[in-house]
Amino acid sequence: MDELTLKELWQQAAEKSHLETKYKELQAQRETVAGRIKKLEKASRAEQADVDRLERGSLAAFFYQMIGRREEQLDKEREEACAARVRYDAAARELASIDADLERRRARLAQLEGCEGRYREALAEKVRELKAGHGPAAQELMECETRMEGMRLQKQELKEAIDAGRVALHTAGQVLDSLDSAEGWGTWDVMGGGLGVDLAKYGSLDEAQEQVERLQVELRRFKTELADVEINAELQVTVEGFMRFADFFFDNLFTDWAVLDHIGHAKTQVRDTRKQIERVLARLKRMNADLDAQLEDERERREQIAIDAE
C-alpha cells in the first residue's frame, strides 16, 4: 500500500471525527426507537388479545352476543389490532434502517482506526521539514492549505446534509399529494360514494402510509447529517413530532368522518414539516455560500504569500 500524503492523513482524521459524531447520534436514535418498539409490541399484543377473547368466547363476547353487538365489537377490536400491528411493523422497519446505518459507519470507523496518530506523526515531520527548509513563508502556506482543506470538508458535510434534506422535502411533497387524493375520495365517501370510492380512498392512504414511513427514515438521516453543522436543534422538534404524528396517523382510521379528520390533521403536520425542512435547507445554503467566499479569500491569500516569498 502506498504511503499516504499528509493531506490524505488529515482527511482521514477529520472523516473519523465526523463519523464518530454521527455514530453517537445514531446510537441515541436507536435507543429511542427501540424503546418505542417495546411499547408498540406490548400494545399490539394487548389489542390482539382482545380480538382472541371475543373470537373464542368470553364473558365479554357473551355480553355483546346478548345485546346483538358481538360482530360490531369484534370488527372494532380487529381494526384496533390491525392499527397497532401497523405501527409496530413501521417502527421495526425504522430500527432495521438505523442498524444498517450503524453497521456501515462501524465498518468505516474500523478502516480508519489509528489514523489520528498517523496524521500527528506525519504533521510533526512536515513541520520539521519546513523549519529546516524554506522558513516562515512555507509554514504560512501550510497553515493556509490546512484552513482550506477544513473548509472543503465542511462543504462536503453541507452537501451531504443538503442532499438528505432535498430527499426528505421531495417525500414530504409526495405524502401531501397522497393525502390530497385520499381527502378527495374521502369526501365522496361521506356523500355515499360506495365500494369503489372506499377502495380508492384506502389505496391513497396506503400510499401515504408507505411515504410517511419513508419520510420518518429520511428525516432521521437528515438529522444525522446535521450533527456536524451545528443546526441540529432546528430539526429536533420536527423529527420527534413527526414520529408521534405517524403513530397518530395509523390509529382509528375506520370510519368515514374519522378518516377525513385524520387526513386534515396529517396534512397540517406534513406542511409544517415541509416548511421546517425548507428553513433548514435555506440556512445550509447560506452557510455554503459563506464558505465559498472564505475559500476564495484563502486562495487569494495563498497566492499573495507565494508572490511575496519570491
Instruction: For 100-144, give the DSSP string.
Output: HHHHHHHHHHHHTTTHHHHHHHHHHHHHHHHHHTTHHHHHHHHHH
Type and span of the H or E element at 168: helix 135-190
Q: Is the pLDDT of residue 82 over 90?
A: no
Per-residue model confidence as pLDDT tens digits over 162-193 = 999 999 999 988 888 888 776 654 444 444 44
Q: Would you tell me the crossing angle of helices 256-309 and 233-249 to the nearest 10 degrees?
A: 160
Task: Report helix angle 59-66 to 6-56, nearest 10.
Answer: 60
pLDDT at residue 258 above 90? Answer: no
Grid coordinates belonging to 130: 519546513
Q: What pTM was estimated for this model as a whole?
A: 0.61
- Segment of 73-87, 207-221, 285-299 carrying the highest mean pLDDT: 285-299
What's the residue count for the chain?
A: 310
Q: In a 3-state reduction of DSSP, which class is residue 255? A: coil
pLDDT surpassing 90 at residue 224 = no
More confident residue, 131 or 264: 264
Statement: residue 27 has pLDDT above 60:
yes
Residue 201 C-alpha cell reads as 380512498
Residues 90-128 have pLDDT tens digits of 889 999 999 999 999 999 999 999 998 988 887 767 666
- Given the C-alpha cell 451531504, which residue does it identify? 160
